Structure 1
């Protein structure tokens, strides 16, 4: 395994970015984040989309093109047998989010969010879908949350059913989402993409461009804003990250922007985050603001926005532990185009960013970040070949 020590970037202060405004300097200085120790956990991967750690210490990841790889508790690394014969892996869609059930220790249940090839007749399952946005390359395809069980030896994933079907996927798999957050209350939150379709983000009958909230049988969770609907929030472009803040219970969505304005949004039932790319009929107009209160009354402003150009923010989690110093409790956001991880220090009420720092700048494109029980992070790279699962932790003094 290879180790390296990375120095932290200079702390850059920022406050909440309002709609259509530039960042405002923060008056309170924050010390730079600690130097990091980076260890390779799994290598030889190709576009690993997500990574989870089981109670027994096993580390599970999946490649977007369709392969599960695990590092077992005995440190052996291998591919798991799994039936992915119906996987729709095209463009940005494929084997994506992975989550362990909250009762994994007894149920051995794993959830994935993945493309499904479907049938030639265009049947897309139980969800309501804007099929006109799919294009010929994705005819009959959708995205599904799938449940699996894994054996104690971590050799085989056995598919046990479809939890949620009918999440749309766009032409050539564009804007497929798709992150799963297994909430401690036993429900699932699912971030989805808008399929590059002009009407999907604001359409409450489409599961695209949303954050969904369901029970593990796929039924809408209690407290959802629309009757008998899994939709929790709407007005999104491409939600690829979901993060639960320890202690507060706040959930943040991490969203990819157009040529500007990657966003971190504080999620609440029924909120509309203001993306409406249908300024011209039947045209997906990406020149509109990511949050557009003029055309979406009541649009909720982002907690943080990248401005221009975008960094491409596909994931994140909260760091925790005294080794992180003043950054204990910060939101760590991965970037692809930015080729770094951002640390965002949030205000006490969670509605503003008071300082930022940049770390992990020598690993290329970064996809997902998962918090480990010891306070370290598991981070996947997204460079296309030779990708890795990395363990990232503050360096020992």
Structure 2
């Protein structure tokens, strides 16, 4: 498939996620790719919230995800949904008009059941890339042999893997010679300026002028260790408050009510404010403006990049972070934008919060922002796409 260098390379960006950090990533990433000179069409779900991106075309024909009560129904629905996505990609590329398919995230679960149509597309000469937000696949579903097979099958049609740091990639075997690895920065999530401003938002939420507000932003999930922070609050000054803003995750995750009960049991409920809903774009800047510290207290299983980190940097708010080895740890350890906790417990959290909120503590966000631009990201992706299509 020899491309005509006088025309734009045509990219089909398959956006499986409709909410959360990955959906936001696709929004800013696709815009940067268009600005770099690529023609981008996003294949997304009917409920994808960002369907008005300048220069980007949309095929919003993937069904919205449905919540299923039983584990068996969730598994069957996952297989059906994955096959629907794969078949739609095959249909679109078979019809012509695309040189390259970019997948919004890597997923291997049950891949032998849904990978077939994508392998057919690859056999037709279509090239594939994937943004591997979680390159270390250590959450094992089923026996290890099945897990390894699923990873290998999910990478079997991939040409390019885009990662956000140099962490080891789990290919389910040795690195296939046909796959190229590209390290790209996670760009900032640009947000509109605050509408109400810090003082008004804090007053509306019942915070006092001298309160120090810690923000937990985004989907409420077990892996963010919100209950641990609530326990740590008991050893912090009364002026340290908590603002939780985001919607509840589905499935087997602990509910917002669980954390609210935990706050009551610990005697810190009067120091907490809960905004349990989907946060609209025009609300984000005000919530960060009202806060003094952003919580990214992930469990060790979290080895991905963090979109919330990039919002915090954009808003010049320090972060308290933890997790496994990955892009988040690399960022917070290498730049003066917050503190990284290696051993996450109540004492280490309380100590880090005290240090980060100390008067006169200085942070420098500009260096991180300069090194993590969407322009630099898109240039690397474009180079990989153009070189790959020109080689064929």
| TM-score class, shorter | under 0.3
Which one has the bigger helix percentage? 2
TM-score by length of 2: 0.26
Task: Give the TM-score taking structure 1 as reference length.
Answer: 0.25
